[in-house]
Structure 1
């Protein structure tokens, strides 16, 4: 029989790769549900006589989860907007944990704020995880006592006038001294759980603008609220209200959260096919 030509072989390889991508979710879920028939770490010889260590079920799950996270990051195209993968991955992990804990509503939205970036940069993203779209990418202010252009100090204490790091769940809105505002319920014990008592809310502020940056070299600062531009805050409140996830990232080696449990996030992705 005549050997297949190069084009035919390449076509067969592409078909094989597509088939593997379709089978991977099934294989990962199978590893989740089925005990291994052989001891973990057993090796086997390939045709060349070189021993290869078989991946464990845990390693398969981790690899699959990591691929899904990177796929989502790439599909959202947020790297080009300055959202670093490590911050994105923590935010999504927390979102999945909160979802598993039934603390979020039906909207598949995630708001990420990176206070490691200066206030002169757009450091807030509202992500639609279902549609894989960036709904908003804009400026956001930090607390007055958290720092000048970059936030370096954070607190959960009343009257600290600092921002509080961690995961929040958006609640209902109200009208206060800043006009239309959105309540934020901090869920990280010791880091932001006093947010409601402190009236740490989303609201608009005229000191959050490019004009203010040109005049003063940085944004104005709040009393701890993630304040938004006046021309966008109402649309953002309309979008993220009613039980969506907000993650405020910052440079604090002491910060920890029970919602950064990768095993819970991995179970959510592999068990219910979330994110894709």
Structure 2
């Protein structure tokens, strides 16, 4: 007797029909996937793969940034910037992407706020004087010459989360403490007063690329942010095939 199971995950339809003689296909270093499972990846997953982001940006950070990108619809919709604060400051945490041409433009180190943590950014605030980084979505605005040189104004778009960024003077700017030399000497980057500070050599080209109305998303896999934000929503379970490729134990053989 044949049994029919329907599974709906992330808006896709997956059908599984056991047969008397089930054959399995395999992928490298993975458990067998039933041949009968027909799974298609989401548009976001396909775009992530097409842009070759696996070695550049965590999928979860990209997925949340894409939610905001389509929800907030920035004026300058060709450019999307993501900062992943789950990574240590010794790693490249900022990614600037061209969404029209589907390619990465910049991938670089970036500093976090002094009171957010040492090597890792773990604490975040929207309060004046906190010297902490803020999470969430920002809109880039105008540039100016300030105490830190060429700088870019950021407008925090999420009330109670980062909407004090402009008043706190949280801006994109260059800093001598954001360099590989500092990492080599101290084991981490220097820290800002809450600004995403960049290496001096990349400050002008990055600011000129993202200025004037593009979206910047600062991600940290933070439960408090997820409980407060009105932009990002929990995403349903990803496709079986995509989950299996990342974690072979997540699927099994569905006997």
TM-score bracket, normalised by the shorter chain, equals: 0.7 to 0.9
Aligned residues: CA RMSD: 2.4
Q: How does 1:80-119 map to 2 (within 5 A)?
A: 80-81=55-56, 83-99=57-73, 104-119=74-89
Q: Give, in whole Å, the separation in 2 of the partners of 1:56 and 1:137.
A: 32
Q: Of Structure 1 and Structure 2, which has the larger fraction of its residues in strand? A: 2
Could you report, residue by residue, the CA deviation over 1:55-91 in whole angstroms, capped at 9, with x for unpaired residues? 699556xx9995211111111112122x111111111
Could you report, residue by residue, the CA deviation over 1:106-144 in whole angstroms, capped at 9, with x for unpaired residues? 341110001110000001000111111100000000000
Identify the residue that residue 191 of structure 1 maps to in structure 2: 161
Instruction: Give secondary structure in 2 for the equivalent of 1:235.
Output: helix
Instruction: Give secondary structure in 1 for the equivalent of 2:206.
Output: helix
Q: Give, in whole Å, the separation in 2 of the partners of 1:239 and 1:107.
A: 12
Q: Give, in whole Å, the separation in 1 of the partners of 2:44 and 2:94.
A: 19
1:224 to 179, 194, 197: 194
> Which has more radius of gyration?
1
Instruction: Give secondary structure in 2 for the equivalent of 1:174.
Output: strand
Q: How does 1:1-276 map to 2 (within 5 A)?
A: 50-51=3-4, 53=6, 59=12, 67-81=42-56, 83-99=57-73, 104-256=74-226, 257-261=229-233
Identify the residue that residue 20 of structure 1 maps to in structure 2: none
Q: Give, in whole Å, the separation in 2 of the partners of 1:64 and 1:131.
A: 27
Q: Give, in whole Å, the separation in 1 of the partners of 2:159 and 2:218.
A: 14
Could you report, residue by residue, the CA deviation over 1:130-186 in whole angstroms, capped at 9, with x for unpaired residues? 111100000000000000010111100001100001111111111111111100011
Aligned length: 209
* Structure 1: segments with no counterpart, 5+ residues: 1-47, 264-276
Contact (CA 8 Å) 2:173, 2:197: kept in 1 or not? yes
Could you report, residue by residue, the CA deviation over 1:8-58 in whole angstroms, capped at 9, with x for unpaired residues? xxxxxxxxxxxxxxxxxxxxxxxxxxxxxxxxxxxxxxxx86445596995
Q: 1:191 to 1:57 in 2, by over 3 A?
A: closer
Q: TM-score, normalised by structure 2?
A: 0.76
Which of structure 1's runs of 4+ aligned residues deviate more than 4 A? 48-60, 63-66
